[in-house]
């Protein structure tokens, strides 16, 4: 048995992992064309022909809509902005509650707070780590306006159940599909099932333009509202654009530029190939890891496909009797890029101390808010418990190769083989 790097042995991997470089000559060619045109953006926050942006923006939006089979695709400068425009367009505001998962990137929930509404956290399922739809109904009150599932790590949320409950209670569904472009849920793309879906094009995501996002919807009215909030709504309306309701018609500048749109178009054409690579790496690792004691490989539910934005393994604590944190520390000492599960969002100081706007506790103390949300530890037991048994990595992607997967396998086996020694030291 070789000595763990944690205890002074030689690490399995010595060199750092390469960044997520997904662009190449094709993107370069398209960027040069945009630069040669000199037109880097033509967006205007007014009711003019430039309200919808320039050529590359319009082409990207059309191509995205075609690819995903949606009526409207709306580009934005990040998925965070995309989530903000989505909650705004949905008409959510002070006094409202929105149900969201605590296991997500922070922006899914801040999008709710930005509109002075209250995030209500729904516990997660033990297998996919997505929102557990069976917890939803008891969280619904007369204040609930929407449900925001996240397709975590690239596995679709339980959309059939979520849509059924949303219909029954007349709630909007805003899907955070940042990690799951073209993940299939029973034949339909994640992100295109609810009222609005949001995708990310940031530099860590499966396809990327540096910073960017896309919001999709089939609803014409929502699409107009999304486009307005993206681009100085109030000023556009003042210059004659008609809109049914002024609710949340306060705009920002969340516009993407022509260079980013040109890059995103090429990236979209590469998406399928990038996913093939990820799935090959994951299949390879799953096969190797299946017989390893105490390591549980990712679940893919019937009718679903997984985009593997992150590859998440679960520790069987009956066979690996050490804290997940220590297991990860040992893996990281071996040069591996593994992280624990998410810390449930409600444990952040913002929620624990309920301070967002000003120092008076808004929006939690807003007089329009008639509820009394509780974010005490213990709120979502699975979310809290799973943090300690999940280890996840994003390095199942190009430019890595199968030999890098072999290293991941080797490092995991090395730590598993030494678990007894680690446990005895911890005693
Ligand atoms: C990355 C991510 C976001 C935010 O994306 P940006 O484009 O960086 O703003 C939101 N939600 C989830 C689940 C993400 O993974």
Mean local confidence (pLDDT), 78-91: 98
pLDDT of residue 426: 86
CA distance 143 to 4: 53
Tell the residue nearest (CA) to atom 8 of ligand 1.
202
Cβ neighbours, 10 Å, residue 42: 17
DSSP 150: B
pLDDT of residue 167: 98
Q: How far is the CA of 14 from the centre of ligand 1 (A)?
A: 30
Cβ neighbours, 10 Å, residue 170: 8
pLDDT of residue 208: 98
Cα–chain-centroid distance for residue 118?
A: 20
Q: How far is the CA of 244 from the centre of ligand 1 (A)?
A: 30
**Maximum distance among all alpha carbons in the chain?**
74
CA distance 20 to 179: 14
How does strand 390-393 pair with strand 118-121? Answer: unpaired
What is the number of alpha carbons within 13 Å of residue 305 lying toward its C-beta? 15
Helix (H, G, I), strand (E, B) or coil at 181: coil
pLDDT-based confidence at residue 427 (cuts at 50, 70, 90): confident
pLDDT of residue 43: 98
Do 399 and 277 form a contact (C-beta atoms < 8 A)? Answer: no
Q: Best substitution site from 82, 202, 206 to test ligand 1's pocket, by max atoms within 8 Å of Cβ?
A: 202
Q: What is the pTM of this model?
A: 0.97
Q: What are the tens digits of pLDDT across the range 127-163?
A: 999 999 999 999 999 999 999 999 999 999 999 999 9
Q: What are the tens digits of pLDDT across the range 58-70?
A: 999 999 999 999 9
Q: What are the tens digits of pLDDT across the range 269-299?
A: 999 999 999 999 999 999 999 999 999 999 9
Paired tokens of 370: 């008639």
What is the number of alpha carbons within 13 Å of residue 420 lying toward its C-beta? 3
pLDDT-based confidence at residue 239 (cuts at 50, 70, 90): very high
pLDDT of residue 240: 96
Do 195 and 173 form a contact (C-beta atoms < 8 A)? Answer: yes
pLDDT-based confidence at residue 171 (cuts at 50, 70, 90): very high
CA distance 138 to 171: 14
pLDDT of residue 2: 87
Q: What are the tens digits of pLDDT across the range 206-235?
A: 999 999 999 999 999 999 999 999 999 999
* Mean pLDDT estimate for the chain: 97
């Amino acid at each position: 048995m070789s000595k763990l790097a944690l205890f002074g042995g030689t690490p399995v991997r010595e060199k750092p992992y390469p960044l997520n470089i997904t662009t190449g000559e094709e993107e370069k060619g398209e960027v040069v064309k945009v630069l040669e045109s000199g037109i880097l953006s033509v967006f205007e926050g007014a009711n003019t022909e430039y309200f919808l942006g320039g050529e590359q923006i319009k082409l990207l939006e059309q191509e995205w809509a075609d690819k995903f089979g949606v009526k409207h695709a709306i580009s934005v400068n990040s998925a965070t902005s995309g989530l903000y425009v989505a909650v705004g367009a949905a008409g959510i505001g002070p006094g409202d509650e929105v149900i969201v998962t605590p296991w997500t990137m922070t922006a899914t929930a801040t999008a709710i707070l930005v509109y002075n509404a209250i995030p209500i956290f729904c516990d997660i399922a033990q297998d996919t780590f997505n929102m557990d739809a069976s917890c939803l109904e008891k969280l619904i009150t007369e204040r609930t306006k929407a449900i925001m599932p996240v397709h975590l790590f690239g596995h679709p949320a339980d959309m059939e159940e979520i849509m059924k409950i949303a219909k029954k209670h007349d709630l909007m569904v805003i899907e955070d599909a940042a990690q799951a472009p073209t993940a299939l849920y029973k034949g339909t793309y994640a992100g295109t099932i609810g009222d609005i879906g949001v995708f990310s094009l940031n530099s860590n995501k499966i396809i990327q333009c540096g910073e960017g996002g896309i919001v999709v919807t089939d609803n014409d009215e929502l699409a107009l509202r999304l486009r307005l909030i993206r681009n100085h709504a109030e000023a556009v309306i003042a210059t004659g654009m008609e809109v049914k309701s002024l609710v949340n018609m306060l705009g920002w500048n969340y516009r993407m530029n022509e260079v980013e749109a040109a890059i995103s178009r090429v990236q979209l054409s590469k998406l399928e190939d990038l996913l093939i690579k990820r799935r090959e790496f994951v299949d390879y690792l799953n096969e190797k890891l299946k017989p390893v004691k105490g390591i549980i490989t990712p679940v893919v539910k019937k009718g679903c496909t997984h985009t593997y934005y992150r590859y998440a393994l679960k520790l069987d604590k009956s066979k690996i009797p050490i804290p997940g944190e220590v297991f990860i520390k040992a893996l990281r000492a071996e040069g591996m890029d593994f992280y624990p599960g998410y810390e449930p969002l409600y444990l952040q100081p913002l929620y624990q101390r309920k301070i967002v706007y000003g120092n008076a506790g808004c929006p939690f103390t807003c007089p329009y808010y008639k509820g009394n949300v509780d974010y005490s530890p213990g709120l979502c037991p699975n979310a809290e418990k799973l943090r300690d048994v999940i280890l996840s990595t994003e390095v199942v992607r190009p430019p890595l190769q199968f030999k890098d997967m072999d290293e991941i396998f080797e490092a995991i086996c090395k730590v598993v083989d030494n678990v007894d020694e680690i446990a005895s030291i911890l005693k």
